[in-house]
Amino acid sequence: MATDTPAVVELTKENFAQSLDGSPFAVVDFWAPWCGPCRAFAPVFAGAARRHPDLLFAKVNTEEQHELAAHFHIRSIPTLMIFRDNFIVFAQPGALSAGALEDVLAAAHTLDMDAVRREASAQESAATATRA
């Protein structure tokens, strides 16, 4: 399945990091062509991309991008992830309705990223301390 709209970027292991590094807010759909719920979610995702041209909307075909799917522990598709400043701030399997997707985008937009960074740093410090 090709991208549904020019506003949606196809991500591969070759362009994933560069694409996210260049975008402070990215919405990524992990999908596969044979997946019925993925096909049902595609127009919802494309519609959100059209409504939010200021955000990066991207798709990862898990059939072609096994390494990315494994890296992000994708076990079920579709899985939606939202990245803010390269932090995963939302990850959920399953197709969302248009309204639910808009709610998730709004919630991700209002996150205090300084608090997210502090929490990530605290978790990293705790993990390092338990390994020491």
Tokens of 122: 């605290």
Distance CA 104, CA 47 (A): 15
Greater confidence (101 vs 5) lies with 101
**pLDDT in the model for residue 132:** 65
Q: For 13-46, how does the pLDDT look when each residue is reduced to its tens digit (9 = 90+)? A: 999 999 999 899 999 999 999 999 999 999 999 9
| Per-residue pLDDT band at 6 (split at 50, 70, 90) | low
Q: 8-131, what's its fold?
A: Glutaredoxin (3.40.30)
Mean pLDDT along residues 33-60: 96
Catalytic amino acids?
35, 38
Name the residue ranges covered by the structural domains of the chain. Answer: 8-131
E strands within the chain?
A: 8-10, 25-31, 56-61, 79-84, 87-93
pLDDT over threshold 70, residue 3: no
Element (H, E) at 119: helix 113-131
Report pLDDT for 1.
Answer: 44
The residue behind tokens 């990850």 is 91
The pLDDT tens digits for 78-132 are 999 999 999 999 999 999 999 999 999 999 999 888 888 888 888 888 878 777 6
